[in-house]
Structure 1
Amino acid sequence: MWIAQLSDPHVRPAGALYKGVVDANAALEAAVAQVNALDPQPDLVLLTGDVTEEGTPAEYAAARAILAPLRAPLRVIPGNHDERGAFRQAFHDHAWLPPNGPLHYVDAASGPVRVIALDVTIPGLHHGDADAAALAWLEAALAAEPRRPAVIMMHQPPIACGVPYLDRYRCHGGAALAALLARFPAVERVLCGHVHRSMLRRFGGTLLCTAPSTATAIGLRPWPGARPASSLEPPGFLLHQWRPEGMLTHAVPIGGFPGPYPFA
């Protein structure tokens, strides 16, 4: 089973630039085209939050139009820049979304790997929280099929990475979440977005991955007092392949590059 993970496109209304700098909509279009060109085709596409920049209906309309050409089924969760009500309305035709409350859900029908979406966002705030209610929901979801391979998708990563302006907005409750996941060894990955960088860390007996943004990269400035910064590094996405022996994750840059050449 192949799973493509896109994240943090920060879609704007048609004609507007993200932060006045980058055409985030065109960048997401390029990502969708590259995912569609993969061989083999992914069985599923995950979008791990911050679909839009301001959570407006116009931005969601633009996002739906850009995402529409995806050939593989799409599963999506909100990020801190999304607005739950507008998000739910924009994706009202996606039957896996719950009708109210946090947007937790389980997709058990797309292949051998269950996708468990954990909505840790807090409306109006930028950090997340794996609170007691979220953990109780997740425990029940994992216990329903404890031996079946699963990935957890969430927006804010529940770890500190040492970059002060990223750690300020991480998901709280990481220790309790890690302790819960350690009881379920069939969890293959915890898949996050939010940080606009690719990061890997052991977490709760599994591997936590963050996907790069399709728009911009947040600066890697791991020193005290570092000021927030971003740059136009090459965008990318993650591609996860599950086989019975385990899950393999590839980092894929988005763009056109010289080659292929007849050597390896």
Structure 2
Amino acid sequence: MLIAQLSDPHIDATRPEKAAAFARAVAHVQALPMRPDAVLITGDCTDHGQADEYDTFAALTAPLDMPVYVIPGNHDDRAAMLARYGHLGTGHLDGFLQYVVDDLPVRVIGLDTLLPGQGAGELDSARLDWLDARLSEQPQRPTLIFMHHPPLLSGLDIMDSIGLRGTQQLCDVVLQHPHVARVVAGHVHMALTAGFGNSTVMTCPGTDTTFQPDLSRPEILIVQYQPPLCLLHAWSEKTGLVSFTRVIDQTPWSVLHDGQGWMG
């Protein structure tokens, strides 16, 4: 099984370069030699939560010929996303875009961290109780949680000031469920990996750029723009869940070993 993760396209009618970058990311996923079983988009699908932006976002995801699962980010509009994507998955939490995907070898759970009107995110008791109940349903099954705001500190003051409220409470839930194999998120536009309870949290940069920050000066945001990335989460009985970082580009694929020997 392979799950591709894209994040933070920030579709904006006034900035066509954002849509063009997202189109390249979608084409990259479509061209992978192993076809993904699903695509996760971890929030900030649009920049202003406007109807025309969601129309563009939907048109750009249309070429993906596998299931696409989305959750809202702080730039999104929950009501607009519920109207378009409230049918996704099962086990929904009323009033939130939280749901379960049960038809993959790895169980996938989407969390809605949106806190309307704020850059920060939140997991309150209602959302966390729902998660605890869903995780309790299949305690032997490997599970991947996807969300927008990551439950970690980046080390950059400006990003951490709009981080996730309820991180410790989420960690307490995850600690009760050792079958949580991965927690994946977006928001920070950086590729970060950290321990989280008995699990691991990973963040996926935006589809247009990746930030490499200067962590020696956390009070200011100094970044170098780097090529955009996506994450690939692969699972098999042999390996468990392993994750790869992929540069989004058009470099052709080559065969290095044909199963019998190295290619010249």
- Whether TM exceeds 0.5 here: the answer is yes
Of 182, 186, 192, which residue of structure 1 is paired with 2:179? 186
Q: CA deviation at 1:257?
A: 3.6
Work out the CA distance in 1 between the residues paired with 2:89 and 2:57.
18
In the other structure, the counterpart of 1:6 is 6
Of 27, 30, 33, which residue of structure 2 is paired with 1:39? 33
Q: CA deviation at 1:58?
A: 0.4
Moved more, 136-145 or 252-261: 252-261
In the other structure, the counterpart of 1:167 is 160
Q: CA deviation at 1:225?
A: 5.4
Cα distance 1:144–1:70, how it changes in 2: closer, same or farther (>3 A)?
Answer: same
Query: Percent identity between the aligned chains?
Result: 38
- Is the counterpart of residue 205 in structure 1 residue 198 in structure 2? yes
The number of equivalent residue pairs is 257
In the other structure, the counterpart of 2:15 is 17
Cα distance 1:151–1:66, how it changes in 2: closer, same or farther (>3 A)?
Answer: same
Cα distance 1:225–1:210, how it changes in 2: closer, same or farther (>3 A)?
Answer: closer
Q: Secondary structure at the match of 2:187?
A: coil
Work out the CA distance in 2 between the residues paired with 1:258 and 1:117.
33
Query: 1:61-100 to 2 correspondence within 5 Å?
Result: 61-91=55-85, 94=88, 96=90, 98=92, 100=94
- Is the counterpart of residue 120 in structure 1 residue 113 in structure 2? yes
Work out the CA distance in 1 between the residues paired with 2:88 and 2:187.
23
Of 152, 173, 178, which residue of structure 1 is paired with 2:145? 152
Of 220, 233, 240, which residue of structure 1 is paired with 2:233? 240
Work out the CA distance in 2 between the residues paired with 1:2 and 1:260.
20
In the other structure, the counterpart of 2:169 is 176
Q: Which string of whole-angstrom CA distances, capped at 9 and with x for unpartnered residues, describes residues 179-212 of structure 1?
A: 2111111111001000111110010101100011
Work out the CA distance in 2 between the residues paired with 1:185 and 1:234.
34
Q: CA deviation at 1:17?
A: 1.2
Work out the CA distance in 2 between the residues paired with 1:96 and 1:236.
29
Counterpart AA for 1:186: H
Q: Which runs of 5+ in 1 are unaligned?
A: none
Does the CA contact (< 8 Å) of 1:17 and 1:24 recur in 2?
Answer: yes
Q: Secondary structure at the match of 2:181?
A: strand
Q: Which string of whole-angstrom CA distances, capped at 9 and with x for unpartnered residues, describes residues 191-239 of structure 1?
A: 1000111110010101100011102334513245533355541001000
Work out the CA distance in 2 between the residues paired with 1:98 and 1:188.
21
Moved more, 92-101 or 61-70: 92-101
Does the CA contact (< 8 Å) of 2:212 and 2:226 recur in 1?
Answer: no
Cα distance 1:228–1:221, how it changes in 2: closer, same or farther (>3 A)?
Answer: same
Q: CA deviation at 1:178?
A: 1.0
Counterpart AA for 1:140: A
Q: Which string of whole-angstrom CA distances, capped at 9 and with x for unpartnered residues, describes residues 90-147 of structure 1?
A: 33564659485121111112x1111101111111111111221111111000001111
Q: CA deviation at 1:152?
A: 0.4
Give TM-score scaled by structure 1 length.
0.90
Give TM-score scaled by structure 2 length.
0.90
Work out the CA distance in 2 between the residues paired with 1:218 and 1:117.
25
Query: 1:124-143 to 2 correspondence within 5 Å?
Result: 124-143=117-136
Counterpart AA for 1:250: F
In the other structure, the counterpart of 1:51 is 45
